[in-house]
């Protein structure tokens, strides 16, 4: 179990205040991801609002925050660039919105088929590696804010503005850390943001430069001079067979990444709050939100682990916290743009640093001497893959590694003991599972040349699980046949018998009733073709 448990009671005040805090943190993220996807900032803000509101109302995990995310933006960026080159920016947006609609459709189907249960197949070492890698990503991503300019022209801030920013970041972190020890009347993160914003006005009055949210916007796109936007409006994206074929690969990949990231976030929030959400319900809500995004000019998205952590740590537990965050975000870019633009970026960076520190599973270091080396390796590999490649790829790699380790360990555990019955039959009593990973160990158990005429394999403490197991039985039967010896199977479980009967084109089997043993005689006297 994760040791980072945050015990706070659900109440309206905590939900509203934590929602306001999250909304403040959503603004620069939505803008940044818009530029990653090569679209107008309004497209990211619309996505954050619609994703957050719809999933908060219909999702399967109250307290979890969804919005425009970098994982989805990176996937759709090549599509936007390619279509902008071929058809122009306006048509590229239509292709993007079609892709987002299809992405949402796939996610709805995922939920309808109740595939969310497969999140339980993710082992705990993978979860630890995922969480640690995510914490490193959140921490590392903040350092890009210390540079002005973009691309090759990016340069570190001048000494004085950089020193002021670092000082404000430290102040924000100190407030976040120590204020809860004094009072829990208001979320420490919200108090930190408001306090540092007030201090920044004082510093500005002395003529010092403060890097704000508006500076961040203009750093990415100098042509933008405000955050203000209008309400999203309904429009049909382009619908044609050719367009669907073009966007389908992007939609499938984005749907997969979005579902994995959302369900992993759901599991993490479950662990933190010691409650349980519904993966299938969350999948359908994510899909619905993305479909609506496609029709109302949003770039789509999924659950946001950083913002979800801010919400949980600030006391947000109910649906009201997510609804408040979405509505406040809408208010900010409709009416409160002037205020949001003046928030020092240092305050938001400090909050994200605290989220990163709290997200990292520090207890995993203590576990390294107590858990198998294979689990330690999986934690390291998943963490590194999360940082270097992608969250979804890291989970796939971790699950595959865990499955291979499990198969190897189970395969090596296949053993047998032998005895001679009263009628002279040699009995092999198996222990372990017979499947693809244990076939070699299974075959090594038998002495084909020196065994008597009748050989019995007792499956009382063993099970046949797959085609490889049946092929292994076929193989040893053929080898005994070469020595004119007969093979019998004893104590096959009902499901094993069913498995063999269904595969009658591979293995012929019947129950011999006139023997003292209830033997399932594997009559493999003929070569099965």
Tell whether 124 is covered by a domain: yes
Residues 387 and 451 in one domain: no
pLDDT(514) > 70: no
Same domain, 274 and 320: yes
Supply the DSSP string of 154-209, one letter for each residue.
-EEPPHHHHHHHHHHHHHHHHHHHHHHHH--SS-HHHHHHHHHHHHHHHHHHTT--
Q: What is the pLDDT of residue 527?
A: 38
Evaluated on CA atoms 324, 326, 331, 333, the torsion sign reads positive
Is residue 525 very low, low, confident or very high in pLDDT (cuts 50, 70, 90)? very low
Instruction: With respect to residue 191, please indicate whether it lies within any of the assigned structural domains.
Output: yes
Query: What is the tens place of the pLDDT at every residue in 161-175?
Result: 999 999 999 999 999
Claim to verify: residue 376 and residue 419 sit in the same structural domain: no
Query: Considering the domain boundaries, does residue 203 fall inside one?
Result: yes
Instruction: Tell me which residue range forms the domain holding 327.
Output: 12-361+370-393
* Res 213 pLDDT > 90: no
User: Given pLDDT bands bounded at 50, 70 and 90, which one contains residue 499?
Assistant: low
Q: Which tokens sit at 424?
A: 């002279």
Mean pLDDT of 102-119: 90
Domain co-membership, 304 together with 450 = no
Q: In this prediction, what percent of the chain has a pLDDT beyond 90?
A: 33
Average pLDDT value for the chain: 84
Whether 162 maps to a domain, the answer reads yes
Q: Do residues 388 and 417 share a domain?
A: no
Report residue 153 as tokens: 């022209």
Domain of 437: which CATH number? 3.30.750.24
Tell me how many domains the chain contains.
Answer: 2
* 348 and 234 within one domain: yes
Which pLDDT does position 302 carry in this prediction? 93
Give the three-state DSSP class for 233: coil
Asked if residue 422 and residue 377 are part of one domain, the reply reads no
Task: For 217-244, write each residue's pLDDT tens digit.
Answer: 887 778 778 778 888 989 888 888 999 9
Residue 456 within a domain: yes
What pLDDT score was predicted for residue 7? 55
d(CA 268, CA 7): 14
- The residues near 65 (Cβ < 8 Å, ≥ 6 apart) are 22, 26, 52, 56, 303, 304, 307, 308, 310, 311, 321, 322, 325
**Pair 118, 26 in one domain:** yes
**Residue-wise DSSP of 275-292:** ----HHHHHHHHHHHHHH
In a domain, 408, yes or no: no
Does the structure show a pLDDT above 60 at 490?
yes
Are 219 and 250 within one domain?
A: yes
Same domain for 16 and 95? yes
Is the domain of 432 the same as that of 387?
no
Based on the fold, state whether residues 34 and 156 are members of the same structural domain. yes
The answer to whether position 206 is within a domain reads yes
Looking at residue 510, its pLDDT comes to 34
Position 2 confidence tier, pLDDT thresholds 50, 70, 90: very low
pLDDT of residue 214: 86
- Asked if the structure places residue 434 within a domain, the reply is yes
What is the tens place of the pLDDT at every residue in 321-351?
999 999 999 998 888 888 888 989 899 888 8
């Amino acid at each position: 179990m994760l040791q980072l448990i945050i015990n706070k009671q659900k109440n309206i005040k905590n939900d509203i205040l934590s929602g306001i805090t999250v909304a403040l943190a959503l603004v620069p993220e939505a803008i940044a991801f818009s530029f990653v996807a090569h679209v107008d900032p309004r497209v990211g803000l619309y996505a954050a609002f619609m994703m957050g509101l719809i999933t908060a109302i219909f999702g399967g995990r109250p307290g979890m925050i969804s919005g425009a995310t970098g994982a989805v933006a990176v996937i759709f960026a090549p599509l936007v660039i390619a279509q902008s080159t071929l058809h122009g920016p306006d048509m590229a947006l239509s292709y993007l919105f079609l892709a987002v609609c299809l992405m949402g459709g796939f996610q709805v189907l995922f939920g309808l088929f109740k595939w969310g249960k497969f999140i339980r197949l993710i082992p705990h070492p993978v979860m630890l590696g995922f969480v640690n890698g995510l914490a490193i990503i959140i921490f590392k991503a903040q350092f890009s804010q210390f540079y002005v300019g973009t691309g090759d022209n990016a340069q570190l801030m001048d000494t004085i503005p950089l020193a002021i920013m670092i000082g404000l970041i430290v102040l924000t972190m100190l407030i976040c850390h120590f204020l809860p020890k004094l009072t829990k009347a208001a979320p420490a993160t919200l108090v930190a943001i408001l306090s540092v914003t007030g201090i920044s006005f004082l510093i500005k009055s002395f003529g010092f430069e403060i890097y704000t949210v508006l500076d961040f916007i203009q750093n990415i796109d100098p042509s933008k001079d405000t955050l203000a936007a209008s309400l999203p409006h309904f429009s049909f994206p382009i619908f044609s067979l050719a367009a669907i074929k073009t966007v389908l690969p992007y939609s499938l990949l984005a749907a997969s990444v979005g579902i994995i990231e959302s369900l992993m976030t759901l599991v993490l929030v479950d662990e933190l709050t010691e409650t349980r959400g519904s993966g299938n319900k969350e999948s359908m809500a994510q899909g619905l939100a993305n479909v609506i995004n496609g029709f109302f000019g949003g770039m789509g998205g999924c659950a946001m682990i950083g913002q979800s952590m801010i919400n949980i740590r600030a006391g947000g537990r109910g649906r009201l916290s997510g609804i408040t965050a979405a509505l406040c975000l809408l208010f900010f870019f409709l009416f409160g743009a002037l205020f949001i633009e003046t928030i020092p970026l240092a305050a938001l960076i400090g909050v994200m640093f605290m989220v990163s520190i709290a997200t990292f599973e520090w207890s995993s270091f203590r576990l390294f001497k107590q858990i198998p080396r294979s689990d330690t390796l999986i934690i390291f590999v998943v963490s590194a893959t999360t940082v270097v490649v992608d969250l979804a790829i890291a989970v796939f790699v971790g699950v595959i590694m865990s499955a291979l380790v499990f198969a190897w360990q189970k395969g090596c555990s296949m053993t047998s003991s032998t005895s001679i019955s009263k009628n002279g039959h040699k009995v092999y009593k198996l222990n372990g599972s017979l499947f693809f990973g244990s076939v070699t160990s299974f075959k090594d158990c038998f002495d084909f040349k020196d065994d008597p005429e009748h050989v019995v394999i007792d499956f009382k403490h063993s099970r046949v699980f797959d085609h490889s197991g049946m092929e292994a039985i076929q193989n040893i039967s053929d080898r005994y046949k070469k020595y004119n010896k007969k093979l019998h199977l004893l104590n096959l479980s009902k499901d094993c018998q069913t498995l063999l009967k269904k595969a009658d084109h591979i293995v012929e089997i019947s129950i011999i009733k006139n023997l003292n043993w209830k033997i399932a005689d594997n009559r493999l006297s003929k070569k099965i073709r």
